[in-house]
Structure 1
Amino acid sequence: MNVPAISSKTHRTTIGDFELTILTDGTYWLDGGAMFGVVPKPLWSKRVAADDQNRITLGLNSLLIRGNGKNILVETGIGPKLGEKQQQIYGNQSALLHSFETLKLSPDDIDVVINTHLHFDHCGWNTYYKDGRATPTFPRATYYAQQGEWEHAQEQHDRDKVSYISDNYDPLINAGQMKLLKGDAEIAPGVRVKMFPGHTRNLQAVIIESQGKTACYISDLIPTSAHLDPTWVMGYDLDPILCIDNRKKFYDVAIPEKWLVAFTHDHEHPFAYVERDERGKPVPRYL
C-alpha cells in the first residue's frame, strides 16, 4: 500500500513555562468525503489532495506537554490493536513508541495521559496486548477521559460503535488507573480540559496556559487546518450544528487572545495560530 512516509521533522514550541512537542503515531487514510461532510469535493480538494480511491492522508498527532515537573501526553493514536483487514483499510503505522525513542523518552516517563474522546484513533496506545491481555502502555500515568464519553461508548450505538475498542479504556477504568471526569476540570497547574461537544457529545479540548500565553489541543472539533471554516464539519460528527456553534465560540476567544492551536489530524501543519482574513473567515498562520 502506498502510504506516505512519516515526517522526520520535530514540531516543538513553547508556551510560557511549558514545552509542547508533537509526537506522531504515523499517518492513516480516511475517505475525503467523510472528512468534509456536505462540502463539495471541488471545494475541499483545493486544500487537500485525494488519491484515486478518494482517500486523504491524515496525521495521528499526540501532544507532549512538559513543564512544572510533569510529562503530560494528550492522545495516543491508533496503536497496535487493529486487525489485518483494518490495517489494510487505514494504512496506519503504529509509530508512537518510535517517536518516544527519537526523543529518548520512555513510556515510564509519562505522568498523565488525556484522551479528548475515546475513538480508536485517539486512544489506541493507551494499552497494548501482553500475553493476550490489555496492559497499560504508560504504567505510571493517570489517564483522564470524560465519563459521558465512556458511557456513550458502552451503548454501542449502530451509528458509531465501530469507533470504539473497549480494550483501549475498560481495563484502565477497572484498575482505577483511568479517572472519568464530569465536565471541565483542571488536570495539573496550567493544564485544563474544557468541553466542546459536537463531534461527540462529550468531546473535550486541552488548554495550556502560562505567562499570559495559551495553547489549545482542539481535537476533532477542528481536525485539521483545512477545517477552519465553521461549516466545514465532518460526516463523522454526531451533532454538526452543535459543532458549528462551538467552533464559533472557540474562535470568539482563541482569535482575539491569539491562542496557539494544535490540530490532531494535520500531518503537515500540527500547529497554527488562527486569524481572520479580509472577509472575516478564520485562516491559519502556521509556525
Structure 2
Amino acid sequence: MHSASLLKWQIGDVSVTKVVELTSSSLGAYILPDASSVRLREINWITPFVDDEFRMVMSFHSLVVETPDHLLIVDTCIGNEKARNYPRWHLMTTRFLDDLRDAGFREAQFDTVLCTHMHVDHVGWNTYKHGEQWAPTFPNARYLYARDEWQHWQSESQLEYGPVIEDSVKPIFDLGLADLVEHDHVVCDEVRLVPTPGHTPGHVSVHIESRGEEAIITGDVFHHPCQLANPHWCATADGDQAAALQTRHSFLKNYADRPVLCIGTHFAGVTAGRLVRDGDAYRLDC
C-alpha cells in the first residue's frame, strides 16, 4: 500500500488508521459547484488538498478505530461489484480489502461497523458478493445505524438509493446484524456519536476521547477542507442545505481553537488537523 493510502493517528489509547478505496479530482464541480479553481486559488493554505490544476481532490476511505477493547470501522466506502449510476463507481474491483489486510486488519476481527449515514459511498463494503448473494464483509460485527437515518431511507422512494439499500444495508438487517441506535449513542468508553443532521436527516459524526485527548470524525458535514474557509458552500448532496449549513457553523464553533483532531471523511492527503479561526473563516492546521 502506498503511503498516501495509510495514515495513522493516536488519540490517547485509541488509534485511527485511514484505509483508502480511491481518490478523485473529477467530482468537485458536481459536489461543490462553488469550489471553482479560481475560488480555490484564493485559499492560501489549500494546496495539500487540490491537484496541480487547483481542482479539489476528494478521498473515499474508511477509518479503523482501535480502542483497548474494541475494533471499529467507520464508513465502508463504495464497495466492489455493485451496480451504480456513477460510471466510475459501477461494478468496481478495487484492492480495498487487500489494503485493509495489509494494514494489519482482518474482516473477522471487527466487532463494530459505524456508518455516519447511508449514502452510497459510506455503506458499500458493508457487504460483498458471495456467489449470487450479498454477504456481510465483517461477519462478527454489529452494524450500527442511527435510527433517524434508517427511518428516512425507509420512507424515501428515490430510485438512486433503492439499489444501495438493497445490496449494502438491507442484507445486514435480514441477517440480524444491525442495531438501530440514537444519534447520540455511546458506542464504548472512548467513542460516541454526535448528531450532525443536514446532509441527511440522521447524519452523525464520531467523537473519540481517551486520556484527555480528543478527535472528531466529520462524516459529510464537510466534503472538502475548502468549506472551512467557505462554510456557506453547500454540497449538492446535502439533503437539507439550510440544516447542513447550520450544522457546519455549529461544528466549527464547537471544535475550532481547541486541541481536537479533526479527521475529514473525504479529506485527501494529510486528512486531519486542528480547526483554527482564520479571520472570519477557518482553516485546517496540519
Q: Deviations over 1:237-282 (max 9, x none)?
A: 11111111111111122113321111111221311111012x1311
* Stretch deviating more after TM superposition (55-64 or 112-121): 55-64
Q: Deviations over 1:15-49 (max 9, x none)?
A: 11111111111224653222214455531466534
Q: How far apart, CA to CA, are the structure 2 residues paired with 1:113 and 1:225?
A: 25
Q: How far apart, CA to CA, are the structure 1 residues paired with 2:87 and 2:207?
A: 32
Where do 5+ consecutive residues of structure 2 fail to align?
none
2:39 to 28, 39, 43: 43
Aligned twin of 1:79:
79
Letter in structure 2 aligned against 1:142: R
With structure 2 as the length reference, what TM-score do the two structures score?
0.87
Q: How far apart, CA to CA, are the structure 1 residues paired with 2:93 and 2:266?
A: 14
* Stretch deviating more after TM superposition (207-216 or 19-28): 19-28
Aligned twin of 1:235:
236
Aligned twin of 1:269:
270
2:28 to 29, 32, 39: 32
Q: Cα offset for 1:87?
A: 4.3
Q: How far apart, CA to CA, are the structure 2 residues paired with 1:187 and 1:30?
A: 35
Aligned pairs, number? 279
The share of aligned pairs that are identical, in percent, is: 25
Question: SS state of the match for residue 164, structure 1?
Answer: helix
Q: Is the 8 A contact 1:34 1:236 kept in 2?
A: no
Aligned twin of 1:254:
255
Q: Is the 8 A contact 2:80 2:124 kept in 1?
A: yes
Q: How far apart, CA to CA, are the structure 2 residues paired with 1:34 and 1:146?
A: 27
* Stretch deviating more after TM superposition (168-177 or 151-160): 151-160
Q: Deviations over 1:75-123 (max 9, x none)?
A: 1111113338744467966332122221232111111110000111111
Q: Is the 8 A contact 1:36 1:44 kept in 2?
A: no
**Structural mapping, 1:105-144, within 5 Å:** 105-144=105-144
Letter in structure 2 aligned against 1:14: Q
Q: How far apart, CA to CA, are the structure 1 residues paired with 2:91 and 2:23?
A: 8
Q: Cα offset for 1:160?
A: 5.6
Cα RMSD (Å): 2.7
Q: How far apart, CA to CA, are the structure 2 residues paired with 1:118 and 1:73?
A: 15
Q: How far apart, CA to CA, are the structure 1 residues paired with 2:37 and 2:242?
A: 21
* Stretch deviating more after TM superposition (149-158 or 177-186): 149-158
**Structural mapping, 1:1-287, within 5 Å:** 8=4, 10-28=6-24, 30-38=26-34, 42-44=38-40, 47=46, 48-49=50-51, 57-83=57-83, 86-88=86-88, 94-158=94-158, 161=161, 164-228=164-228, 229-277=230-278, 279-286=279-286
Q: Is the 8 A contact 1:205 1:218 kept in 2?
A: yes
Q: Is the 8 A contact 1:29 1:90 kept in 2?
A: no
When residues 152 and 246 of structure 1 are mapped into structure 2, their CA distance, relative to the original with a 3 A threshold, is same
Q: How far apart, CA to CA, are the structure 1 residues paired with 2:196 and 2:251?
A: 9
With structure 1 as the length reference, what TM-score do the two structures score?
0.87
Q: How far apart, CA to CA, are the structure 1 residues paired with 2:57 and 2:231?
A: 21
Q: Cα offset for 1:198?
A: 1.0
Letter in structure 1 aligned against 2:161: K
When residues 77 and 201 of structure 1 are mapped into structure 2, their CA distance, relative to the original with a 3 A threshold, is same
